[in-house]
Amino acid sequence: MPYAPSLPTPARSALATAFAALALAASPHQSAMAWGATGHSAVGDIAAQLIKGTRAEREVARILGSVSLHDIAVWPDCVKGIDPAKDFRYTVTGRYPECAPFENKPEEEALMRDYVKRNNEACGPQPGDESCHKQYHYTNPALERGRYKAGSVGTSDHDIVAALDAARLRLAGSTVPGPFALQTEREALALLVHDLGDVHQPLHVGSVYLDEKGQRRDPDVQGDDPQARTIGGNALAVMGPNGPAGNLHAYWDNAPGKLNPEQLAALPAAARQVPAMASPPALWPAQWASETMNEAEAAYAGLRFGERQSSLRGSRWVVTLPADYEARSQVLVRQQLARAGARLAQLLQTIWPEAAKP
Q: 113-133 burial string, b = 16+ CB within 10 Å, else e?
A: bbbbebbbeebebeeeebbbb
Helices and strands of the chain, counted as H and E runs: 15, 11
| DSSP string over 238-279 | EEETTEEEEEHHHHHHHGGGGS-HHHHHTHHHHHTTSPPP-S
Show the domains of the chain with their CATH numbers.
Answer: 9-70+133-351 (1.10.575.10)
pLDDT digits (tens, 9 = 90+) for 8-26: 334 444 444 444 444 433 4
Residue 88 region by backbone torsions, left for phi larger than 0, else alpha for psi between -120 and 50, else beta: left
User: CA angle, 269 as apex, 268 and 274 as ends, to 5°?
Assistant: 90
Label the pairing between strands 139-142 and 205-207: parallel
Mean pLDDT calculated for residue range 98-124? 97
CA separation for the pair 73, 270 (Å, rounded):
20
- pTM of the entire structure? 0.91
Listed residue (356, 351, 175, 336) closest to 270, CA to CA: 336
pLDDT digits (tens, 9 = 90+) for 189-229: 999 999 999 999 999 998 999 999 999 999 999 999 999 99
Higher pLDDT among residues 330 and 240, named by residue: 330
**Within a 10 A sphere around the Cβ of 280, how many other Cβ atoms?**
8
Give the rounded distance of the alpha carbon of 217 from its chain centre: 23
CA separation for the pair 143, 297 (Å, rounded):
7
Predicted pLDDT at 34: 62
Query: Is the Cβ–Cβ distance between 193 and 44 less than 8 Å?
Result: yes
- According to DSSP, residue 229 is labeled B
pLDDT digits (tens, 9 = 90+) for 259-278: 999 999 999 999 999 999 99
At 24, the amino acid letter reads: L
pLDDT digits (tens, 9 = 90+) for 42-77: 999 999 999 999 999 999 999 999 999 999 999 999
Query: Is the Cβ–Cβ distance between 216 and 1 less than 8 Å?
Result: yes
Query: Is the Cβ–Cβ distance between 248 and 319 less than 8 Å?
Result: yes
Q: List all residues 6 or more positions away from 42 whose beta carbon is below 8 Å from its beta carbon.
A: 35, 256, 264, 267, 337, 341
